[in-house]
Amino acid sequence: MTSIEKYFNAEKSESLLFVLVGVVTITLAIYFFFKLKEPFYNGIGLAFALIALIQLTVGTSVYIRSPKDIIRVQAMVSNEPSKIPSEEIPRMETVMKNFVIYRWIEIALIIIGLVLFFAMKSNSILKGGGLGLFIQAGFMLLLDYFAESRGKEYMTFLRELL
């Protein structure tokens, strides 16, 4: 397996995990809303559902796009290597810059979640929302850490081609 296939197949695998977590957390949100019907669990469910929509959207789009990216980059390396520094490296630089933005957003959401959880009275929707936000943002931060690490390796590979 080439470095290109390794990178994009790993992205595809992680995107499936994003989708799976999105489905599980939406299922939990539905259970919390319609079965438990308590403010605390409604708050968790709301946070779960909102972030799960992001996970489902991002996960599905990366999953669909990854096989096309393998073909695109392999063709570029084989047939038009001069496009690597003008197309693929700038694309990946943008991806890597976005990881920094995502990281700070996720850290902010974790902090907001913790503040809500510890500052609100028990059984409140905001306390539950804080816990849900903390769990979901923490999970996304962890997965983005691994995605960013893969991106750094892939960037090293691309630069070695020059």
Q: What is the predicted pLDDT for the residue at 138?
A: 97
- Give the three-state DSSP class for 80: coil
Overall average pLDDT of the 112-118 stretch: 97
Output the pTM of the full model: 0.92
- Give the three-state DSSP class for 69: helix
pLDDT of 123 strictly over 90: no
The per-residue pLDDT for range 27-65, each reduced to its tens digit, is 999 999 999 999 999 999 999 999 999 999 999 999 999
Q: What is the predicted pLDDT for the residue at 14?
A: 97
> For residues 81 and 104, what is the distance between their CA atoms, to the nearest angstrom?
34
> For residues 55 and 58, what is the distance between their CA atoms, to the nearest angstrom?
5
Q: How many CB atoms lie within 10 A of CB 48?
A: 31
> For residues 12 and 154, what is the distance between their CA atoms, to the nearest angstrom?
14
**Following CA atoms 146, 152, 155, 156 in sequence, which dihedral angle do they give, to the nearest 10 degrees?**
-130
pLDDT of 132 strictly over 90: yes
Q: What is the predicted pLDDT for the residue at 22?
A: 97
List, in sequence order, the alpha helices (H) in the chain: 3-31, 39-79, 89-119, 125-160
Do residues 63 and 148 make contact, with C-beta atoms less than 8 angstroms apart?
Answer: no
Q: How many CB atoms lie within 10 A of CB 134?
A: 21
> For residues 133 and 45, what is the distance between their CA atoms, to the nearest angstrom?
10
Overall average pLDDT of the 17-21 stretch: 96
pLDDT of 1 strictly over 90: no
> For residues 48 and 21, what is the distance between their CA atoms, to the nearest angstrom?
10
The per-residue pLDDT for range 68-112, each reduced to its tens digit, is 999 999 999 999 999 999 999 999 999 999 999 999 999 999 999
> For residues 82 and 88, what is the distance between their CA atoms, to the nearest angstrom?
10
* Residue 113 tokens, joined: 């979640």
